Chains A and B, each alone.
Chain A
C-alpha cells in the first residue's frame, strides 16, 4: 500500500516536472492571477474564463510570433498577503506576463514585485487609482479608474435630487477609494452627506448600521465594496423597513448578490463597464463563450480577454518578448480589442474608459438607466 502510493506520487511528480519543462522550452507563459476561491471567487471565474478564451483563440490563429501561449494559473483568494506569495511564485516560475490581479488591494502589493522583477502586468479589474500612480513602467490595466467611476455614481445620485445621502464603505483600498470619490463629487454638488462610515469586510451583522441609516433618514445609500456585504445590508435593510435607494460600484454587480439579498436586490443601482458582450462586433466571440457553456456578460470577462490580447499584440508590435519592449509598444500603439480601441497614457491607464449606470433586478438581469 505505502510503496504503491509512493510510486504513484513519484510518477505524478515526475510527469508534472516534465510538463513544466515542456512549457518552458518553446512557449510563452501567461500567468493568470486572481481569486479562484474565497468570497469574491465569482469575479475570478470571469477573469479566468475570459483569459483562457483569449489564449485559446490566439493559439488557434497561429499563436504569437510563431509560439503558443500557455496559461499558468494562480489563486490569490483576493488576499493581499497571498497575492505577494503568488507574485513571488510567478517570478520563480519564470513567467514574464501576468493577467491580474483582480482586487485592488491584491494588485497593489503584487505590482511592486512585478515592476522590480521585470514582469509585465495587465489588470482586468483593479480600479484603484493608486496602482498606476507610482510611475511604474510595466503596470497596465484594461479597466477604468475609481476616479472615473466615482464621479459617474456621484453625478447620477445628485441628478436625482436626494435630500440626504449616506456613503458606506468596507475600509478596503477599493471600497474606501471609490466611496471617497463619490462623497467628494456629492459634496461639490452641494448635497448633504448624512453619514460616511466604514464596515468590516466579512462581517455579517449590519442591524446596527441599518438602524443608524433609518435614524439618519437618508434616501440614498452608496456602498463602496463587494457584494457579500452589500447583499446582507440590502436584506437586513428590507427587513427593518428602511426605504432608501442603494447604489454600488462594479464590485457588487454580479448574480451572487441575488442569492444573498433575494427580492431586496431589486432596483439596486450599479455602475459597470458597458456591456461589451452586446456590441455587434463581439458576437462571434460571444458565441464562442456560449459554445463552451460560459457566460460572457460578466463585467471582467472581456476585459480579461482584452488584457491577454494586448499582451499578444504588444509582443507582435515590439517584435520582442522583453516585457520592457512590450510595455513601450503598448504605450505607443493603438489596439483593437473587444472592449474597443485601446490607447495607453504614460501611467498605464487607458486614455478613455466609460462607466454606465445600470439598474439591477432580483432575477440577476440589469437594464441601463436612462
Chain B
C-alpha cells in the first residue's frame, strides 16, 4: 500500500509536469508541421508569458483586486495576448524574410531570436529569480497507515484541467474550423494550398499565435506551480518540450500531448526510483532511442517521398 501511494505520487508529479510540457510542445510541433522549421525561440515565448502573468498578477493585487478567479483569468489573458503578439512578431521579423532559403538559415535566425529575447528580459526584468505568488494552495491528502502521505494539490488539478481544456479546444479548432482545415491543408502541401487560394502567410501567422498562446498558459501554470521564474528558465523547458514533440512525432498534435506526458512521467519515475541526477540522462536517452528505432516518433507519419 505504502509503495503504491509512493508510485501514485510520483505518477501525479510526472503527469503534472508532463501536461505542461505538452502545452509547450504544441508550439514546436505545429510550426514544424507547417513550415518544417524548429522555432528555437519558443521556450523564450513561454518564459515571457510567465513574466507577463506575474506582472499582471502583481498589478492586479496592487490595485486591490482580491477575487482569485478574476485575477487568474485576467493574468492569463494578458499573458496570452503578449505572448501571441510576440510569437507573431518573431515570425514576421525573423522567419518570414528567410523562409524558403536553405533550412539552416531560419534555424540560425531562430537561435538568434532566442538569445535576443533572453537577454531582453535580462535587461528589462533583471536576471534574478523572481518569486511567483502561490495563489492556489492546499489540496487533498491520502494516507494508508499514517507514514507516507500522498498529496494531490489543487494546483496540480488546475494544471491537468487547464491542459485538458486547451487540448480539447485545440483539437476541435483544428478538426472543425475553417482556419483549422486550412492549417491541415498547408501542413500537407504549402505550395498546393496557396494555389488553391489559401492565404498561407495568414495561416503560418496563426500557427505561431496559437503555439505562443498555449505556451503562455503553460508559463502561468508552471510559474505558480514552481514558485519562481528567471529569464533562463524558458531555455530548459523549451528543450524538454522540443524533446516531447520529437518523442511523440514532430508535426503531430496528439503526438506532442503523448510525448509530453511520457517525458514527464519518465523524469519523475527516474528521480523517484533511481536518482534525480539521472533525470536528464533518461529523458534525452529516450529521445535518442526513439530517433534510432522510430525516427518519425511515436505517432508521426512516415514522410512520403514526393516525386
Contact = CB atoms under 8 A, between A and B. Distances in A.
Interface of A: 37-39, 41-42, 171, 197-200, 202-205, 207-209, 211-212, 214-215, 217, 227-228, 231-232, 235-236, 239-241, 256, 258-262
Contacts of A262: 131, 134, 227
B6 interface: yes
Contact of B13 (A199, A208, A259): A208
Contact of B275 (A197, A227, A235, A259): A197
17 contacts: A39-B230, A41-B128, A197-B275, A200-B277, A203-B279, A205-B17, A211-B9, A214-B148, A215-B6, A228-B230, A231-B129, A236-B227, A240-B151, A256-B129, A259-B130, A261-B227, A262-B227
Q: Is the interface of A mostly helix, strand, loop or mixed?
A: helix
Contacts of A217: 147-148
A209 B276 contact: yes
Interface residues of B, number: 42
Interface in B224-264: 225-228, 230, 232-233, 236-237
B129 A228 contact: yes
Given A171-B277, A259-B130, A211 B236 contact: no
A262 B226 CA distance: 13
Interface stretch (B102-110, B178-186, B266-274): B266-274
A257 to B, nearest CB: 9
Contacts of A261: 131, 227
A41 B222 CA distance: 24
Nearest to A263: B134
A199 B122 CA distance: 25
B127 interface: yes
Interface of B: 6, 9-10, 13-14, 16-17, 122, 127-131, 134, 137, 139, 141, 147-149, 151, 153, 155, 222, 225-228, 230, 232-233, 236-237, 267-268, 271-272, 275-277, 279-280
Contacts of B128: 39, 41-42, 256
A231 B228 CA distance: 9
A212 B271 contact: yes
A261 B132 CA distance: 9
Given A212-B272, A228-B228, A232-B227, 8 more contacts: A37-B122, A41-B128, A202-B232, A203-B279, A204-B222, A211-B13, A228-B230, A262-B131
Contacts of B134: 235, 239, 262
Interface centre among A197, A211, A227, A261 (most CB of B within 10 A): A211
